[in-house]
Structure 1
Amino acid sequence: MPNMIYGTAWKKENTAKLVETALLSGFKSIDTACQPKHYREDLVGLGLENAFNKGIKREDIFVQTKFTPISGQDINNMPYLSSDDIITQVEKSLLKSKENLKLDFIDSYLIHSPFNPIEDLVKVYRTMEEFVQNKEVGQLGISNCYDLKLFSYLYDIAKVKPKVLQNRFYAASNYDKDLREFCKQKNITYQSFWSLTANPNILASNEITSLVLKYGKTKEQIFYKFLKQIGITPLNGTTSKVHMLEDLDIDDFLLEENEIILIQNLL
């Protein structure tokens, strides 16, 4: 999995151009969802197609999308019917994602958020396991899950173990410290979103400012490097090509251990 993922939420009619620009700028991974309320997954597919036509190779790109339950959908614009049973919902959602993205294979497929009853959540995950067995999907995971007990339960019962946990990275969840430790132990990739937006105080801190001066990098580059070095794969949703190029340009320096600890103490 690449070290940074381009996030496509809320890009609306600009989605295709931004996806194409991100890939041509060096992003190797795209995150989306079959949730018309917040994503234009069809335009993600167009952006992918345009980038492939300009020389980007499909085998070099990691594509991740999600099944969104009814609770997260606009009831008037969903990839399935509200009357469909839960298994039909996830089957239709994957079919629609493949159609939108113009792909026969999805590298990573997530449940967009936990939902009740838990029996239905398990049914969805079991169906997703079949997608992996049928080679329609490469790996599985879940997003917006902040309950370690629930996530560890899902992990324990899974035949195809979850490989991704994607959560908002912010103070209200204590930065998922217990969940991130669980992920580390189980070789699960922890993906963060709102990494910058939710942490303006950290970006403006004296600790980050001093590292900006030392390394000659932006505060965003410093924070993304910190996340990378502690094992987090961040989503990046910038709409600026300049920022895309800057944010990816973090492989030419390493934060020292004491510097990592200084930033960790801010969490």
Structure 2
Amino acid sequence: MPSGRLPLRPNGLTPPTQMPTMIYGTAWKKDRTADLVYTALKAGFRAVDTAAQPKHYREDLVGDGIRKAIADGIVKREDLYIQTKYTPVQGQNPHDMPYERRLSITEQVKASVQSSLLNFRYFNAAGSNAYIDTLVFHTPLSTIEQTIEAWIAAETFVPEVIHNIGISNCPLPVLKALYTSPEIKIKPAVVQNRFYPDEDYDVDLRVFARENEIIYQSFWTLTANPQLVKSESVQQLAQKAGISVAVALYALVISLGKVSVLDGTTNEIHMAEDLKLSSKIEHFSEAHQQEWQDLVSGFKRLIGDPA
């Protein structure tokens, strides 16, 4: 059954990190970002995903929402999992970037991280003390050599202000190359990809990730999968467990193992409902163990997952 938190792979340098299985996604929230992040934290989310990419994210407003929640006593920074991204030049708006285009790849990464730390600054008895639980590369760079160069630049911030490093929009050969590279000291802790049929639901990549203690973060989980929402496994779980079809799909995806889900709802009622996933599924799976296992097995067959 889905667990509320997942441990990230230890790197021997930073304290162990626990990632909630439900992560609030902040893409395309624009001027509503601060209010929505505050609302999500108030509803109970304890993980936030964003990016240093003004083209699609307002990382500065994510910081505002987090600071307000901390100031209002809703949450403490140490209880949060905050994840942001370094976005290469090709993914940026050339007129609105967190670093100068002319910089080397190494300097781009460093400038991007510094801009993120400024956005995530917060105040406690010790003063400003920003840190990032996981820095995710928004996408691989043009070559594996450039990707490794950027990765090594990110490693210079570990352990003081970055605790883990991951990558998004990443095919299996690149993930394997990063994991096996002798130049890289901090192994990938996270891979964040679209979970959808065009990539066969990343079956092979997720197997590799599980075997190597890499957490798979699923995004576009609802938007890209109308056929899964309508599937017998999802519909039956929703009906039998008394949950929405969205929560049922999230539960079955998380049940695949070492998986977290990005949830970008803007509806406060849906936020609260989605966060009840663990307790409701725990209750259902314990009371109806065989039914739960049958539904999970049916879902795995549907997406081609190994039994």
Asked if these proteins are the same fold (TM beyond 0.5), I'd say yes
| 2:211 aligned partner | 185
State the AA in 2 paired with 1:131. F
| 2:118 aligned partner | 99
Q: In the TM superposition, what are the counterparts of 1:63-142 in structure 2 within 5 Å?
A: 63-102=82-121, 104-133=130-159, 135-142=160-167
Mapped partners of 2:232, 2:212: distance in 1: 34
State the AA in 2 paired with 1:82. R
Q: In the TM superposition, what are the counterparts of 1:164-243 in structure 2 within 5 Å?
A: 164-231=190-257, 232-243=259-270
CA drift at 1:252: 2.6
Secondary structure, counterpart of 1:212 in structure 2:
helix
Mapped partners of 1:212, 1:129: distance in 2: 43
Secondary structure, counterpart of 2:164 in structure 1:
strand
Secondary structure, counterpart of 2:271 in structure 1:
helix
Mapped partners of 1:117, 1:208: distance in 2: 39
Report Cα offsets for 1:94-125 as digits up to 9, x if no partner: 00001112252111001110111322211110
Mapped partners of 1:166, 1:113: distance in 2: 10
CA drift at 1:210: 2.1
Mapped partners of 1:21, 1:61: distance in 2: 14
CA drift at 1:266: 2.1
| RMSD (Å) for aligned C-alpha atoms | 1.1
TM-score normalised by length of structure 2 = 0.84
In the alignment, is the contact (CA less than 8 A) between 2:233 and 2:296 conserved in 1?
no
Mapped partners of 2:30, 2:64: distance in 1: 13
1:8 aligns with 2:32: no
Pick aligned residue for 1:252 from 267, 280, 296: 280
Report Cα offsets for 1:64-104 as digits up to 9, x if no partner: 00100000000000011111111110000000001112252
Mapped partners of 2:156, 2:68: distance in 1: 31
1:45 aligns with 2:63: yes
Mapped partners of 1:176, 1:131: distance in 2: 30
Report Cα offsets for 1:150-193 as digits up to 9, x if no partner: 11110111211110000010000101001100110011110010
| 1:18 aligned partner | 36
Secondary structure, counterpart of 2:156 in structure 1:
helix
Secondary structure, counterpart of 1:114 in structure 2:
coil
Report Cα offsets for 1:219-259 as digits up to 9, x if no partner: 11111111222221000000000110111111232451111
Mapped partners of 1:209, 1:193: distance in 2: 20
TM-score normalised by length of structure 1 = 0.96
Q: How many residues align?
A: 265
Mapped partners of 2:132, 2:235: distance in 1: 40
Structure 2 unaligned regions, length at least 5: 1-18, 123-129, 286-291
In the alignment, is the contact (CA less than 8 A) between 2:209 and 2:215 conserved in 1?
yes
Secondary structure, counterpart of 2:260 in structure 1:
strand
CA drift at 1:3: 1.2
Pick aligned residue for 2:186 from 160, 166, 176: 160
Mapped partners of 2:268, 2:254: distance in 1: 21
State the AA in 2 paired with 1:264. K
State the AA in 2 paired with 1:97. S
State the AA in 2 paired with 1:246. E
Secondary structure, counterpart of 1:208 in structure 2:
helix
Mapped partners of 1:253, 1:149: distance in 2: 34
State the AA in 2 paired with 1:4. M
Pick aligned residue for 2:51 from 19, 25, 33: 33
Secondary structure, counterpart of 2:192 in structure 1:
strand
CA drift at 1:198: 0.6
Secondary structure, counterpart of 1:115 in structure 2:
coil
Mapped partners of 2:206, 2:193: distance in 1: 10
State the AA in 2 paired with 1:7. G
The percent of aligned pairs where both chains have the same amino acid is: 44
Mapped partners of 1:252, 1:49: distance in 2: 31
